[in-house]
Amino acid sequence: MASSFLTLLFHLLTISGSFVQISSLGFGINYGQIANNLPSPSRVALLIKSMNVTRIKLYDADPNVLLAFSNSNVEFVVGLGNEFLGTMTNPSKAQSWIQQHLQPYLSQTKITCITVGNEVFNTNDTQLIMNLLPAMQSVHGALVNLGLAQQVTVTTPHSFNILSNSYPPSSGSFRQDLLQYIQPLLAFHSQFNSPFLINAYPFFAYKDNPNEVSLSYVLFEPNPGSIDPNTNLHYDNMLYAQIDAVYAAIKMLGHTDIEVRISETGWPSKGDTGEIGATPQNAAAYNGNLLNRIEQKQGTPANPSVPIDIYVFALFNENLKPGPASERNYGLYYPDGTPVYNIGLQGFLPEMVIAPNASGSSVNFIACIITCFIYAWELLRL
């Protein structure tokens, strides 16, 4: 009963959205699940709908999530973790994975991209690095065989530290030790028109050097900015400079036809003692100002006609992520659906639906029905 109700409510919200005709927000969001206290995918589907977000990036191909978003207008990026790269170099196993984990959901859930691995060049694992491109080629080949290559692209996200130089942006260049891998990878992107993905976090630059890096510059706040001496282009924030540095590095290797997209960026609301700048105020400023610029469809100084394409990290705080405290505090929301800070997103996470038990106790179930339908009615009245 609980599952059926949430499905009904999801479709009611979909109908309400069509009545009010709110244009969807221009950013995507990373939906990570390294936690033991997150709401069910069916409840998350309602939260995403109420936020008016229409693009989600997963780190796997969780069938529960893909099913929860059936018949929605949400586009998905699904992921193959680094642990799959060796297996995916085998074309038959790549095709089997797609047939099992992708094809069953494509008729009802929009899946537009597969990421193969994540920050592979950051692992310093030579075998993993050598498997990356063959795995991507196998996955793409399988999509071709299944008639899905026009519908689903193949790419891989990189850490920003694959660049050896990023300043000034026009002098951006890739690390010398990675060129033998990046050059053929760029040829793949160019041939199949798939985007080059970068995980870019100005927070790290500020945290590591707060005396030299302007906080206003990394938070998109008013500041003098900087001038690229080679191009005379003015940069008023670090993220745009980072994006253009990647474009410059790609151009240096002979490609001008590959789009750079940001697969992750964000700011933690909490950190360890040494993680300077990890506060809710800074996180709200970074993400809030970034969303405003996305809404304006801004391009970077070197590519003003190409609106920035960004997936914000992340939807929820994830309490089981390893590493410093900041890693567990990038979420826009706490797992109970409460915003970590206010940046104007009107998200709504319905309460847990508890079906009536044998003794006839149905108070929680009825309360949830009333709460959710009141919310849906308010949407219809907008």
Catalytic residues: 119, 264
**d(C-alpha 56, C-alpha 76), whole Å:** 5
- Per-residue 3-state assignment (H helix, E strand, C coil) for 258-283: CCEEEEEECCCCCCCCCCCCCCHHHH
Judge whether 60 and 77 are in contact, CB under 8 Å.
Answer: no
φ, ψ of residue 148 in degrees (nearest 5): -115, 0
DSSP code, position 265: E
Nearest to 335 by CA among 39, 23, 40: 39
**HSE value, Cβ hemisphere, 13 Å, CA-based, for 206:** 25
Checking if the pLDDT of 14 tops 50, the result is no
- Extended beta strands in 84-149, E state: 110-116
pLDDT for the residue 122: 96
**Residue 52: which region, alpha, beta or left (left: phi > 0; alpha: psi -120 to 50)?**
left
Q: How confident is the model at residue 62, as a pLDDT?
A: 98
Sign of CA pseudo-dihedral 279, 282, 284, 286: negative
Helices 126-145 and 91-101: crossing angle in degrees, nearest 10, is 60
Confidence of residue 25 (pLDDT cuts 50, 70, 90): low
Rounded distance between C-alpha atoms, residue 185 and residue 180, angstroms: 9
Per-residue pLDDT at 234? 98
Rounded to two decimals, what is the model's pTM? 0.88
| Token pair recorded at residue 124 | 């310093």
Confidence class for position 342, pLDDT limits 50, 70, 90: very high
How does pLDDT run across 43-63, given as a tens digit for each residue? 999 999 999 999 999 999 999
Please tell me the predicted confidence (pLDDT) of residue 347.
Answer: 81
